[in-house]
Protein backbone atom coordinates (compact mmCIF):
# COMPACT_ATOMS: atom_id res chain seq x y z
CA UNK A 1 0.00 0.00 0.00
CA UNK A 2 1.47 3.31 -1.12
CA UNK A 3 1.07 6.49 0.91
CA UNK A 4 0.99 10.11 -0.19
CA UNK A 5 4.05 12.20 0.54
CA UNK A 6 2.34 14.18 3.29
CA UNK A 7 1.27 10.95 5.01
CA UNK A 8 4.80 9.55 4.78
CA UNK A 9 6.24 12.79 6.20
CA UNK A 10 3.87 12.60 9.17
CA UNK A 11 4.95 9.03 9.95
CA UNK A 12 8.63 9.94 9.62
CA UNK A 13 8.14 12.88 11.97
CA UNK A 14 6.39 10.65 14.54
CA UNK A 15 9.38 8.29 14.49
CA UNK A 16 12.05 10.93 14.98
CA UNK A 17 13.03 11.82 11.42
CA UNK A 18 13.64 15.53 10.86
CA UNK A 19 11.37 16.81 8.06
CA UNK A 20 10.85 20.31 6.67
CA UNK A 21 7.73 22.07 7.93
CA UNK A 22 4.54 21.74 5.93
CA UNK A 23 0.89 20.69 5.83
CA UNK A 24 -1.60 19.40 3.30
CA UNK A 25 -4.27 21.59 1.67
CA UNK A 26 -7.36 20.76 -0.38
CA UNK A 27 -8.23 24.31 -1.50
CA UNK A 28 -6.26 27.34 -2.69
CA UNK A 29 -7.44 29.26 0.40
CA UNK A 30 -5.98 26.59 2.70
CA UNK A 31 -2.72 26.69 0.75
CA UNK A 32 -2.57 30.45 1.23
CA UNK A 33 -3.13 30.16 4.99
CA UNK A 34 -0.38 27.54 5.38
CA UNK A 35 2.01 29.67 3.30
CA UNK A 36 1.33 32.67 5.55
CA UNK A 37 2.12 30.55 8.62
CA UNK A 38 5.39 29.42 7.03
CA UNK A 39 6.51 32.92 6.12
CA UNK A 40 5.39 33.06 2.48
CA UNK A 41 8.26 31.23 0.73
CA UNK A 42 6.95 27.72 0.14
CA UNK A 43 6.86 24.86 -2.32
CA UNK A 44 3.44 23.61 -3.44
CA UNK A 45 3.49 19.91 -4.40
CA UNK A 46 0.74 17.84 -6.02
CA UNK A 47 -0.08 14.72 -4.00
CA UNK A 48 -0.47 11.65 -6.20
CA UNK A 49 0.89 8.10 -6.11
CA UNK A 50 3.49 8.61 -8.82
CA UNK A 51 6.94 10.09 -9.21
CA UNK A 52 8.22 12.67 -11.64
CA UNK A 53 5.72 15.25 -10.41
CA UNK A 54 7.99 18.26 -10.90
CA UNK A 55 8.63 17.39 -14.53
CA UNK A 56 5.02 16.34 -15.12
CA UNK A 57 2.36 18.57 -16.66
CA UNK A 58 -1.11 19.57 -15.50
CA UNK A 59 -3.88 19.23 -18.08
CA UNK A 60 -7.58 18.51 -18.44
CA UNK A 61 -8.61 14.86 -18.45
CA UNK A 62 -9.22 14.87 -22.21
CA UNK A 63 -5.61 15.94 -22.84
CA UNK A 64 -3.75 13.38 -20.74
CA UNK A 65 -2.87 10.89 -23.48
CA UNK A 66 -1.58 13.60 -25.82
CA UNK A 67 0.55 15.13 -23.08
CA UNK A 68 1.98 11.74 -22.11
CA UNK A 69 3.02 11.23 -25.73
CA UNK A 70 4.79 14.61 -25.70
CA UNK A 71 6.58 13.87 -22.42
CA UNK A 72 7.84 10.51 -23.64
CA UNK A 73 8.92 11.67 -27.10
CA UNK A 74 10.23 15.19 -26.40
CA UNK A 75 10.74 15.75 -22.65
CA UNK A 76 13.15 18.66 -23.10
CA UNK A 77 10.47 20.86 -24.65
CA UNK A 78 7.48 19.60 -22.68
CA UNK A 79 8.59 18.75 -19.13
CA UNK A 80 7.09 20.78 -16.31
CA UNK A 81 8.89 23.56 -14.42
CA UNK A 82 8.93 24.64 -10.77
CA UNK A 83 8.83 28.22 -12.05
CA UNK A 84 7.87 29.22 -15.57
CA UNK A 85 5.15 28.83 -18.16
CA UNK A 86 5.04 25.03 -18.22
CA UNK A 87 3.14 24.37 -15.02
CA UNK A 88 4.34 21.19 -13.32
CA UNK A 89 3.16 19.35 -10.25
CA UNK A 90 5.74 21.03 -8.01
CA UNK A 91 5.72 24.85 -7.88
CA UNK A 92 7.87 27.36 -6.01
CA UNK A 93 6.08 30.30 -4.44
CA UNK A 94 7.69 33.34 -2.81
CA UNK A 95 4.52 34.80 -1.29
CA UNK A 96 1.18 33.60 0.06
CA UNK A 97 -0.50 35.03 -3.07
CA UNK A 98 1.76 32.93 -5.29
CA UNK A 99 1.10 29.86 -3.16
CA UNK A 100 -2.64 30.34 -3.58
CA UNK A 101 -2.23 30.77 -7.33
CA UNK A 102 -0.03 27.67 -7.55
CA UNK A 103 -2.62 25.60 -5.67
CA UNK A 104 -5.31 27.00 -7.96
CA UNK A 105 -3.31 25.84 -10.99
CA UNK A 106 -2.70 22.35 -9.57
CA UNK A 107 -5.88 21.28 -7.78
CA UNK A 108 -8.57 19.66 -9.89
CA UNK A 109 -6.25 19.08 -12.84
CA UNK A 110 -4.83 15.79 -14.11
CA UNK A 111 -1.09 15.46 -13.58
CA UNK A 112 0.72 13.53 -16.30
CA UNK A 113 4.28 12.33 -15.70
CA UNK A 114 6.47 9.56 -17.06
CA UNK A 115 5.29 7.39 -14.15
CA UNK A 116 1.52 8.04 -14.31
CA UNK A 117 0.91 6.52 -17.72
CA UNK A 118 -1.28 8.15 -20.38
CA UNK A 119 -4.33 8.39 -18.12
CA UNK A 120 -2.60 10.72 -15.63
CA UNK A 121 -3.74 11.27 -12.03
CA UNK A 122 -6.37 13.66 -10.70
CA UNK A 123 -4.86 15.99 -8.07
CA UNK A 124 -7.10 16.40 -5.02
CA UNK A 125 -4.59 17.66 -2.46
CA UNK A 126 -1.34 19.63 -2.34
CA UNK A 127 1.45 19.71 0.21
CA UNK A 128 2.53 23.22 1.15
CA UNK A 129 6.01 23.05 2.71
CA UNK A 130 8.73 25.51 3.63
CA UNK A 131 10.99 26.48 0.74
CA UNK A 132 14.26 25.34 2.26
CA UNK A 133 17.64 26.59 1.11
CA UNK A 134 19.38 23.38 0.01
CA UNK A 135 23.17 23.21 -0.03
CA UNK A 136 23.54 19.51 -0.87
CA UNK A 137 21.17 16.69 -1.79
CA UNK A 138 21.50 13.04 -0.78
CA UNK A 139 19.52 9.82 -1.22
CA UNK A 140 18.62 7.57 1.71
CA UNK A 141 16.22 4.66 2.00
CA UNK A 142 15.46 1.53 3.98
CA UNK A 143 14.09 -1.51 2.19
CA UNK A 144 13.51 -5.17 2.97
CA UNK A 145 16.12 -7.23 1.13
CA UNK A 146 14.91 -10.79 0.72
CA UNK A 147 18.30 -12.06 -0.43
CA UNK A 148 19.88 -11.30 2.94
CA UNK A 149 16.66 -11.55 5.01
CA UNK A 150 17.10 -8.18 6.67
CA UNK A 151 16.55 -4.46 6.35
CA UNK A 152 19.00 -2.70 4.10
CA UNK A 153 19.99 0.97 4.00
CA UNK A 154 20.72 2.35 0.54
CA UNK A 155 22.60 5.65 0.64
CA UNK A 156 24.04 7.91 -2.03
CA UNK A 157 25.65 11.32 -2.09
CA UNK A 158 23.90 11.89 -5.44
CA UNK A 159 20.37 12.73 -4.33
CA UNK A 160 17.60 14.54 -6.16
CA UNK A 161 17.67 12.10 -9.09
CA UNK A 162 16.23 8.62 -9.47
CA UNK A 163 18.38 6.04 -7.70
CA UNK A 164 18.03 3.73 -10.74
CA UNK A 165 19.74 6.39 -12.84
CA UNK A 166 22.56 6.70 -10.32
CA UNK A 167 22.95 2.92 -10.25
CA UNK A 168 23.27 2.86 -14.03
CA UNK A 169 25.66 5.79 -14.44
CA UNK A 170 27.71 5.75 -11.22
CA UNK A 171 27.18 2.57 -9.17
CA UNK A 172 30.13 3.35 -6.92
CA UNK A 173 28.15 6.30 -5.54
CA UNK A 174 25.70 3.91 -3.86
CA UNK A 175 26.40 2.40 -0.45
CA UNK A 176 24.50 -0.55 1.05
CA UNK A 177 24.46 -1.02 4.82
CA UNK A 178 22.77 -4.08 6.29
CA UNK A 179 20.96 -4.10 9.64
CA UNK A 180 21.36 -7.39 11.50
CA UNK A 181 17.78 -8.50 12.32
CA UNK A 182 18.95 -10.40 15.41
CA UNK A 183 20.62 -7.33 16.89
CA UNK A 184 18.17 -4.71 15.63
CA UNK A 185 19.28 -1.11 15.54
CA UNK A 186 22.89 -0.47 16.51
CA UNK A 187 24.36 3.08 16.65
CA UNK A 188 27.24 2.15 14.35
CA UNK A 189 24.75 1.80 11.47
CA UNK A 190 23.79 5.47 11.70
CA UNK A 191 27.43 6.53 11.94
CA UNK A 192 28.25 4.39 8.89
CA UNK A 193 25.40 5.96 6.88
CA UNK A 194 26.66 9.44 7.72
CA UNK A 195 30.24 8.52 6.84
CA UNK A 196 29.19 7.02 3.50
CA UNK A 197 27.32 10.23 2.68
CA UNK A 198 30.42 12.29 3.46
CA UNK A 199 28.95 14.10 6.48
CA UNK A 200 30.96 15.02 9.55
CA UNK A 201 30.61 16.80 12.88
CA UNK A 202 27.14 17.95 13.88
CA UNK A 203 25.70 17.05 10.47
CA UNK A 204 26.93 13.48 10.91
CA UNK A 205 25.24 13.27 14.33
CA UNK A 206 21.99 14.59 12.82
CA UNK A 207 22.20 12.08 9.99
CA UNK A 208 22.83 9.17 12.37
CA UNK A 209 19.77 10.14 14.42
CA UNK A 210 17.71 10.53 11.26
CA UNK A 211 18.80 7.10 10.02
CA UNK A 212 17.67 5.56 13.30
CA UNK A 213 14.26 7.22 12.87
CA UNK A 214 14.07 5.94 9.30
CA UNK A 215 14.75 2.39 10.48
CA UNK A 216 12.21 2.77 13.30
CA UNK A 217 9.61 3.94 10.76
CA UNK A 218 10.25 0.89 8.57
CA UNK A 219 9.92 -1.53 11.48
CA UNK A 220 6.92 0.13 13.14
CA UNK A 221 4.90 0.29 9.92
CA UNK A 222 6.03 -2.99 8.32
CA UNK A 223 7.17 -0.93 5.36
CA UNK A 224 8.63 -2.57 2.29
CA UNK A 225 10.25 0.76 1.38
CA UNK A 226 10.90 4.05 3.17
CA UNK A 227 12.68 6.50 0.88
CA UNK A 228 13.94 10.08 1.27
CA UNK A 229 14.95 11.70 -1.99
CA UNK A 230 16.28 14.18 -1.46
CA UNK A 231 17.67 14.11 2.02
CA UNK A 232 19.09 17.63 2.25
CA UNK A 233 21.78 19.58 4.03
CA UNK A 234 20.06 22.93 4.48
CA UNK A 235 21.57 26.40 4.58
CA UNK A 236 20.90 26.69 8.32
CA UNK A 237 22.87 23.51 9.04
CA UNK A 238 19.94 21.14 9.40
CA UNK A 239 19.88 17.69 7.83
CA UNK A 240 16.25 16.99 6.95
CA UNK A 241 13.93 15.06 4.65
CA UNK A 242 12.61 17.29 1.86
CA UNK A 243 10.63 14.52 0.19
CA UNK A 244 9.35 11.13 1.38
CA UNK A 245 7.98 7.91 -0.04
CA UNK A 246 6.58 5.03 2.01
CA UNK A 247 5.08 1.71 0.92
CA UNK A 248 3.55 -0.67 3.47
CA UNK A 249 3.44 -4.44 3.05
CA UNK A 250 -0.21 -5.29 2.34
CA UNK A 251 0.19 -8.59 4.18
CA UNK A 252 0.86 -6.70 7.43
CA UNK A 253 -2.11 -4.33 7.29
CA UNK A 254 -4.20 -6.61 9.51
CA UNK A 255 -2.10 -5.42 12.45
CA UNK A 256 -2.06 -1.75 11.40
CA UNK A 257 -5.72 -0.72 11.33
CA UNK A 258 -4.76 2.93 11.70
CA UNK A 259 -2.42 2.79 8.72
CA UNK A 260 -4.97 0.93 6.60
CA UNK A 261 -7.23 3.98 6.96
CA UNK A 262 -4.61 6.06 5.09
CA UNK A 263 -5.25 4.11 1.90
CA UNK A 264 -6.40 6.28 -1.01
CA UNK A 265 -8.41 4.02 -3.30
CA UNK A 266 -8.80 6.79 -5.86
CA UNK A 267 -5.08 6.37 -6.60
CA UNK A 268 -5.42 2.66 -7.34
CA UNK A 269 -6.71 0.83 -10.40
CA UNK A 270 -10.48 0.20 -9.99
CA UNK A 271 -10.16 -3.42 -11.12
CA UNK A 272 -7.49 -4.07 -8.49
CA UNK A 273 -9.78 -2.68 -5.80
CA UNK A 274 -12.64 -4.83 -7.09
CA UNK A 275 -10.38 -7.90 -7.01
CA UNK A 276 -9.38 -7.29 -3.41
CA UNK A 277 -13.00 -6.74 -2.38
CA UNK A 278 -13.93 -10.07 -4.01
CA UNK A 279 -11.16 -11.98 -2.26
CA UNK A 280 -8.78 -12.12 -5.25
CA UNK A 281 -5.85 -10.15 -3.81
CA UNK A 282 -3.06 -11.15 -6.20
CA UNK A 283 -4.33 -9.25 -9.24
CA UNK A 284 -2.52 -6.55 -11.20
CA UNK A 285 -4.10 -4.81 -14.19
CA UNK A 286 -1.98 -4.68 -17.36
CA UNK A 287 -2.52 -3.23 -20.83
CA UNK A 288 -3.03 -6.34 -22.97
CA UNK A 289 -6.10 -8.20 -24.23
CA UNK A 290 -5.60 -11.74 -22.86
CA UNK A 291 -6.95 -12.37 -19.37
CA UNK A 292 -5.00 -14.82 -17.22
CA UNK A 293 -6.01 -17.04 -14.28
CA UNK A 294 -3.09 -19.06 -12.91
CA UNK A 295 -2.24 -20.73 -9.59
CA UNK A 296 1.14 -19.68 -8.24
CA UNK A 297 3.10 -16.48 -8.80
CA UNK A 298 5.97 -18.19 -10.65
CA UNK A 299 3.63 -20.04 -13.00
CA UNK A 300 1.68 -16.80 -13.55
CA UNK A 301 4.89 -15.04 -14.62
CA UNK A 302 5.83 -17.95 -16.88
CA UNK A 303 2.34 -17.88 -18.40
CA UNK A 304 2.61 -14.19 -19.17
CA UNK A 305 6.04 -14.74 -20.73
CA UNK A 306 4.69 -17.56 -22.89
CA UNK A 307 1.79 -15.40 -24.09
CA UNK A 308 4.31 -12.71 -25.07
CA UNK A 309 6.44 -15.32 -26.82
CA UNK A 310 3.36 -16.39 -28.80
CA UNK A 311 2.83 -12.80 -29.92
CA UNK A 312 0.12 -11.78 -27.45
CA UNK A 313 -0.21 -9.29 -24.60
CA UNK A 314 -1.45 -10.31 -21.13
CA UNK A 315 -4.23 -8.15 -19.69
CA UNK A 316 -3.42 -8.96 -16.09
CA UNK A 317 -1.34 -10.85 -13.57
CA UNK A 318 -3.60 -13.06 -11.45
CA UNK A 319 -2.33 -15.66 -8.99
CA UNK A 320 -5.49 -17.38 -7.77
CA UNK A 321 -3.51 -19.37 -5.20
CA UNK A 322 -4.59 -22.65 -3.60
CA UNK A 323 -8.27 -22.78 -4.55
CA UNK A 324 -10.69 -24.61 -2.26
CA UNK A 325 -13.80 -22.63 -3.21
CA UNK A 326 -15.28 -22.48 -6.74
CA UNK A 327 -16.63 -19.00 -5.99
CA UNK A 328 -13.10 -17.62 -6.02
CA UNK A 329 -12.78 -18.79 -9.61
CA UNK A 330 -16.11 -17.10 -10.39
CA UNK A 331 -14.91 -13.89 -8.75
CA UNK A 332 -11.62 -13.98 -10.67
CA UNK A 333 -13.53 -14.26 -13.94
CA UNK A 334 -15.84 -11.41 -12.87
CA UNK A 335 -12.84 -9.13 -12.41
CA UNK A 336 -11.22 -10.11 -15.70
CA UNK A 337 -14.46 -9.69 -17.66
CA UNK A 338 -14.87 -6.16 -16.28
CA UNK A 339 -11.86 -5.20 -18.39
CA UNK A 340 -13.21 -4.09 -21.79
CA UNK A 341 -9.84 -4.84 -23.40
CA UNK A 342 -10.05 -8.58 -22.70
CA UNK A 343 -10.72 -10.57 -25.87
CA UNK A 344 -9.78 -14.05 -24.66
CA UNK A 345 -8.99 -15.81 -21.36
CA UNK A 346 -6.30 -18.36 -20.54
CA UNK A 347 -6.73 -20.51 -17.44
CA UNK A 348 -3.48 -22.34 -16.64
CA UNK A 349 -3.65 -24.61 -13.58
CA UNK A 350 -0.91 -26.91 -12.36
CA UNK A 351 -2.83 -28.64 -9.59
CA UNK A 352 -0.90 -29.58 -6.49
CA UNK A 353 -2.80 -28.45 -3.44
CA UNK A 354 -5.11 -26.63 -5.85
CA UNK A 355 -7.59 -29.19 -7.23
CA UNK A 356 -8.47 -29.19 -10.91
CA UNK A 357 -12.08 -30.22 -10.21
CA UNK A 358 -12.59 -27.12 -8.03
CA UNK A 359 -11.32 -24.95 -10.90
CA UNK A 360 -13.67 -26.72 -13.29
CA UNK A 361 -16.63 -26.21 -10.92
CA UNK A 362 -15.79 -22.51 -10.72
CA UNK A 363 -15.62 -22.11 -14.50
CA UNK A 364 -18.95 -23.93 -14.94
CA UNK A 365 -20.59 -21.80 -12.23
CA UNK A 366 -19.23 -18.63 -13.84
CA UNK A 367 -20.92 -19.59 -17.10
CA UNK A 368 -24.16 -20.08 -15.18
CA UNK A 369 -23.92 -16.68 -13.50
CA UNK A 370 -22.54 -14.62 -16.41
CA UNK A 371 -22.94 -14.30 -20.13
CA UNK A 372 -19.34 -15.10 -21.10
CA UNK A 373 -18.82 -14.29 -24.77
CA UNK A 374 -15.03 -14.23 -25.02
CA UNK A 375 -13.21 -17.47 -25.93
CA UNK A 376 -11.67 -19.39 -23.04
CA UNK A 377 -8.61 -21.62 -23.25
CA UNK A 378 -7.87 -24.05 -20.39
CA UNK A 379 -4.67 -25.94 -19.70
CA UNK A 380 -5.23 -28.22 -16.70
CA UNK A 381 -2.69 -30.57 -15.09
CA UNK A 382 -2.46 -32.24 -11.70
CA UNK A 383 -4.66 -33.18 -8.77
CA UNK A 384 -8.14 -34.52 -9.69
CA UNK A 385 -7.55 -33.86 -13.39
CA UNK A 386 -9.85 -36.68 -14.54
CA UNK A 387 -12.66 -35.46 -12.27
CA UNK A 388 -12.26 -31.89 -13.54
CA UNK A 389 -12.26 -32.92 -17.21
CA UNK A 390 -15.38 -35.04 -16.65
CA UNK A 391 -17.19 -32.06 -15.13
CA UNK A 392 -16.27 -29.86 -18.10
CA UNK A 393 -17.32 -32.54 -20.61
CA UNK A 394 -20.71 -33.01 -18.94
CA UNK A 395 -21.35 -29.26 -18.54
CA UNK A 396 -21.62 -28.54 -22.23
CA UNK A 397 -19.80 -25.21 -21.96
CA UNK A 398 -17.50 -24.22 -24.81
CA UNK A 399 -13.83 -24.06 -23.82
CA UNK A 400 -10.64 -24.80 -25.76
CA UNK A 401 -8.65 -27.52 -23.96
CA UNK A 402 -4.87 -27.85 -24.32
CA UNK A 403 -2.32 -30.22 -22.84
CA UNK A 404 0.76 -27.97 -22.68
CA UNK A 405 1.36 -24.28 -22.04
CA UNK A 406 2.93 -23.50 -25.40
CA UNK A 407 -0.11 -24.84 -27.25
CA UNK A 408 -2.45 -22.99 -24.88
CA UNK A 409 -0.63 -19.70 -25.49
CA UNK A 410 -0.82 -20.15 -29.25
CA UNK A 411 -4.52 -20.97 -29.03
CA UNK A 412 -5.44 -18.03 -26.82
CA UNK A 413 -3.47 -15.55 -28.95
CA UNK A 414 -5.23 -16.90 -32.04
CA UNK A 415 -8.62 -16.71 -30.31
CA UNK A 416 -8.00 -13.13 -29.23
pLDDT tens, position by position, 18-55: 999 999 999 999 999 999 999 999 999 999 998 889 99
pLDDT tens, position by position, 163-193: 777 777 777 788 899 999 889 899 999 999 9
Per-residue CA distances from 377 to 9, 297, 353, 416 (Å): 48, 19, 22, 10
CATH class, 269-415 region? alpha beta
Confidence of residue 146 (pLDDT cuts 50, 70, 90): confident
* pLDDT for 230 beyond 80: yes
Per-residue CA distances from 17 to 10, 136, 159, 396 (Å): 9, 18, 17, 63
* Domain spans in the chain, listed from the N-terminal domain onward: 21-130, 134-260, 269-415
* Residue 285, SS3 per DSSP: strand
Give the pTM.
0.80
* From 5, 30, 98, 227, the catalytic residue: 227
- CB under 8 Å to 161, separation ≥6 — which residues? none
CATH homologous superfamily of domain 134-260? ATP-grasp fold, B domain (3.30.470.20)
Residues 127, 24 contacting (CB under 8 angstroms): yes
CATH number assigned to the domain covering 21-130: 3.30.1490.20
Closest CA to 378 of 393, 400, 352: 400
Task: Give catalytic status of residue 227 as yes or no.
Answer: yes
Model pLDDT, residue 108 = 95
Model pLDDT, residue 348 = 96
* From 6, 68, 138, 139, the catalytic residue: 139
Closest CA to 285 of 406, 110, 125, 119: 119
Return contacts of 34-37, CB within 8 angstroms, 24+ apart.
Answer: 34/99, 34/128, 35/93, 35/95, 35/96, 35/99, 35/100, 35/128, 36/96
pLDDT tens, position by position, 327-339: 999 999 999 999 9
Amino acid sequence: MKLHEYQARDLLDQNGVAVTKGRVATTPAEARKIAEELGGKVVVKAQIHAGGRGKGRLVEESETAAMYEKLTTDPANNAGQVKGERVGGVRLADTADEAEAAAQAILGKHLVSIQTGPEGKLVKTVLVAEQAEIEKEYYLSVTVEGGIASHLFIASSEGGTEIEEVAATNPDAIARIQVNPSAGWMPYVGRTVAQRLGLSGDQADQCAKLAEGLYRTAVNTDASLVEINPLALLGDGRVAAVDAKLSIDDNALYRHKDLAELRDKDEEAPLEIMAQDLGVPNFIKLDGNIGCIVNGAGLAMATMDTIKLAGGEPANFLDIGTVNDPQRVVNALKVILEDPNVEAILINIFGGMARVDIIAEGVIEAHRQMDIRVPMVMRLVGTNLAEGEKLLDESGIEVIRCRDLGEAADQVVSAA
